[in-house]
Structure 1
C-alpha cells in the first residue's frame, strides 16, 4: 500500500528521469545520476563519471550503441557483465531508461530472443524506442509500468536485469516478488544497484544523497540478501564492485528462482 510520502518520492523520481531524457533528446548534455545529482545533470557529455553511467561499460560496448543511449545511461554498473545472456533467451530490464541494456541484451540473445524494457516515464520510453530503432534492435520491446507491478504474465522471462533502479523503489518487497513471479523456474537475475554497508542506518544513507539521486533508498547488503531469500530466491549473492560514497557501493546482485521439482511418485 502506497502512502502520500511514497507517491511524492515516486513523482520526484519520475520527474528526474523525464528531465534526464529531455536533456539528452534536446542535445544539451548527458544525463547523470549519483550523490550529487540534485546539483543538476552533467554539463559535458564527453566526461564519464567513473561511478555511474556509461563509464561502467567497455569502450567496445559503448561503440555498439547510438550516442543518445550512451548519454542517457544512469546506471551504477553493467548488469550484462553478470547476467550471462544466451542466444534465444527472453530478458526483462527493470527501469530501462534510454535503452542501453535492452539494446545490448537484444544483441546478445539474437533474433530468436526478446529483450523487454520496462519504464514508467514516457520521455524515457520514447528515447529508448528511438535508440533501439537506430541500433537495429528489432527484438527489443518497451513497456510502460512500474517495477512493483510488471505488465507481463507469470513465468514469462528467463532473466531479469536492472541497473541502479531497485534502490529507487519505495516498495522493494513488491519488486522482488514481481521478479520472482515473471521468471520461469530456473530463471535468474543479474542486477546492478547501489547498496549500503550494513553499519549504515537508513538515516545515515539519506545524508549521503537524495532518494532520486540513487543513494538514500539503497538497501544494505544484509537487507538485500534477506529480501531476495524471503521472495523465494536461492544462490543469492550481493558483491561490491566499487565505492560510490562513504559506506555506499555499486554492487552486483545474483539470484536464482528454483526450478520446478519433479512430482513425487
Structure 2
C-alpha cells in the first residue's frame, strides 16, 4: 500500500482531473473521471436537485449523502464544509444561513478551489469563500464554526483521528457537525483494499463503522447520532477489474458491507480551544483532503 503522502497525491490528481472536466463531461460519465468499467466515483451520490440553494454547475456528483439536509443550519450560522469541491454543499448551506451567515469551504485541490470560486462569483455570493488547505491542519482559527459539514471526504484522509480533532478545535462550544462518509462492516478483499483507484474512489480508505464512531467518541463529542445509513453496492462491472468471478461471488455473498452513513455529533458547551499559533501561521498550507467529497 502507498504511503500517506502518496495516497494524498493520488487523490489530488484524481479530483483535479474531475474538476478540469466540463459539467457535461462529468454528467455523461456515471463515474466522474473515466468510464464506469474502471472507476468508482459517482455510484454513491444522492440527489440534491430538489434542495434549496442547489446549483447544477457546482454538483459534480461526488458525494455519498446529503449532510446539509441533516445539519440543522440556522440563519446567521458560520458553516465550514470540509472537502468543498466545486461548492455544492456550500451553496446549499448558504440557503440556510442567509446573507447574515457565512460559509467557508476548504479543499486541497487547487482546481476545485478555482472552480468553486468561479461558481460563487457567478452567483454573486459575498458570504461564501473557499480556502485552499489541509483539513488535518485547517486554515481556520479555533471556535470559529457553528456547524461543520462534509460529504464523502474523511474516508480519503489517512489520518482520520487528526481531522476529527481539527473539527473539534474549529467548532464553537455547543457547535455540531453533520458528516456523510463511507464506512465498512466486515473486511474488503485485499485486491480492493490495496488498490489506489479504489482509494481515490472512497472505498479502500473507509474504516470499520464502529471504529469510525469510536474515534468521534474518543475525541469528546457528545450526542452522537447516525442520522442516515444506506448500503453501497459496487457493480460487478467494476468489481471484475479487481476480482475473479469466484471472488466477486464470495464478496457479494460474504456478509461484508459498504455503507454511507451521515453522523451528527456536538462539541460540549463551555469548552474553549486555545489557538494553535503553528496552525495559524501555516494557514496557506495546501496538503491533504480531497476535492468535492468523492464518490
Q: Deviations over 1:210-245 (max 9, x none)?
A: 110001111222111110111111111235522113
Whether 2:187 is the aligned partner of 1:200: answer: yes
Give the structure 1 partner of residue 8 of structure 2: 10
Query: Match for 1:158 among 143, 146, 160?
Result: 146
Specify whether residues 211 and 80 from structure 1 end up closer, same or farther in structure 2 by C-alpha distance, changes over 3 A only. Answer: same
Specify whether residues 221 and 202 from structure 1 end up closer, same or farther in structure 2 by C-alpha distance, changes over 3 A only. Answer: farther
SS at match of 2:130: strand
Alpha-carbon distance between aligned partners in 2 of 1:131 and 1:138, rounded to the nearest angstrom: 12
Give the structure 1 partner of residue 258 of structure 2: 248
What is the deviation of 1:81? 1.4
Q: Which segment drifts farther, 91-100 or 134-143?
A: 134-143
SS at match of 1:60: coil
Whether 2:50 is the aligned partner of 1:60: answer: yes
Contact map agreement 1:73 1:98 (CA 8 A) in 2 = no
Give the structure 2 partner of residue 39 of structure 1: 38
Contact map agreement 1:188 1:256 (CA 8 A) in 2 = yes
Specify whether residues 167 and 152 from structure 1 end up closer, same or farther in structure 2 by C-alpha distance, changes over 3 A only. Answer: same
RMSD between superposed Cα atoms in Å: 2.8
Contact map agreement 2:70 2:227 (CA 8 A) in 1 = no
Q: Deviations over 1:143-178 (max 9, x none)?
A: 011111101001011111000000000100100000
Give the structure 1 partner of residue 133 of structure 2: 145
Contact map agreement 2:99 2:127 (CA 8 A) in 1 = yes
SS at match of 1:146: coil
Specify whether residues 33 and 229 from structure 1 end up closer, same or farther in structure 2 by C-alpha distance, changes over 3 A only. Answer: farther
Alpha-carbon distance between aligned partners in 1 of 2:129 and 2:98, rounded to the nearest angstrom: 14
Gaps of 5+ in 1: 43-48
For normalisation by structure 2, the TM-score amounts to 0.76
SS at match of 2:21: helix
Q: Which segment drifts farther, 95-104 or 125-134?
A: 125-134
Q: Deviations over 1:70-109 (max 9, x none)?
A: 2x23100110111011000000000000100001111210
Contact map agreement 2:40 2:198 (CA 8 A) in 1 = no
Alpha-carbon distance between aligned partners in 1 of 2:191 and 2:265, rounded to the nearest angstrom: 27
What is the deviation of 1:132? 1.6
Give the structure 2 partner of residue 45 of structure 1: none
Alpha-carbon distance between aligned partners in 2 of 1:235 and 1:260, rounded to the nearest angstrom: 15
Pairwise mapping of residues 30-179 of structure 1 onto structure 2 (< 5 A)? 30=27, 32=31, 39-40=38-39, 51-53=43-45, 55-57=46-48, 59-61=49-51, 64-70=53-59, 72-179=60-167
Alpha-carbon distance between aligned partners in 2 of 1:240 and 1:207, rounded to the nearest angstrom: 28
Specify whether residues 205 and 189 from structure 1 end up closer, same or farther in structure 2 by C-alpha distance, changes over 3 A only. Answer: farther
Contact map agreement 1:120 1:145 (CA 8 A) in 2 = yes
Alpha-carbon distance between aligned partners in 2 of 1:11 and 1:37, rounded to the nearest angstrom: 22
SS at match of 2:232: strand
Which of structure 1's runs of 4+ aligned residues deviate more than 4 A? 201-205
- The total of aligned residue pairs comes to 246
Alpha-carbon distance between aligned partners in 2 of 1:79 and 1:233, rounded to the nearest angstrom: 18
What is the deviation of 1:189? 0.6
Q: Which one has more relative contact order, counting CA pairs under 8 Å at least 6 apart? A: 2
